[in-house]
Amino acid sequence: MPIATTTHLNFRGRAREALDFYHSVFGGDVVAITYADAHAVRDPDEADRIMWGQVASEDGFRVMAYDVPGTLEWNPGENSYFVSVRGDDTEEITTRWDRLSVGSTIVRPLEPAQWSPLYGMLRDRFGVTWVLDVTAPDQG
């Protein structure tokens, strides 16, 4: 199974702007799912913020972005990015998750999400936040 790492940038209210900018630089396709789109609004003022976004170009460029909700701490110097590992094989992603989770703090368990058959987040023993997920068929 091929896997890919993708830089996953974290913002507070500027993810759409960043995705549009990276799209203007690298081209490709933009996907932006808001908290409202995902039926995950906790604060009405954040309904149009990005819960999951990506720019993907044919030449292989990928960057993901989201707006950290106001209910979570966010310090751009501490959690401005995630390392995202994506693949299309559930068993392989689960195996990688199991290995990476040793000595880690689980932020979100590896489980189905609205945008992915499996999605999980953890902070490893070195303080790096990893997101592992299975690519949904329409995300490429």
Q: What is the pLDDT of residue 16?
A: 96
Quick: pLDDT tens for 114-129. 889 999 999 988 677 8
Identify the pLDDT of residue 1: 65
Distant-in-sequence, close-in-space partners of 62: CB < 8 Å, separation ≥ 6: 4, 6, 7, 54, 55, 56
For 30-82, what is each residue's pLDDT tens digit? Answer: 999 999 999 999 999 999 999 999 999 887 889 899 999 999 988 877 777 78
Sheet containing 50-56, strands listed edge to edge, beginning at the edge strand earlier in sequence: 29-34, 50-56, 62-67, 3-11, 81-87, 129-134, 116-123, 105-113
Task: Give the mean pLDDT of 2-17.
Answer: 88
Question: How many CA within 13 A on the CB side of residue 90?
Answer: 8
Q: Which domains does the chain have, with CATH numbers?
A: 3-134 (3.10.180.10)
Residue of 52, 41, 34, 29 whose CA lies nearest to 119:
52
Residue with tokens 């170009």: 57
Q: What is the pLDDT of residue 19?
A: 93
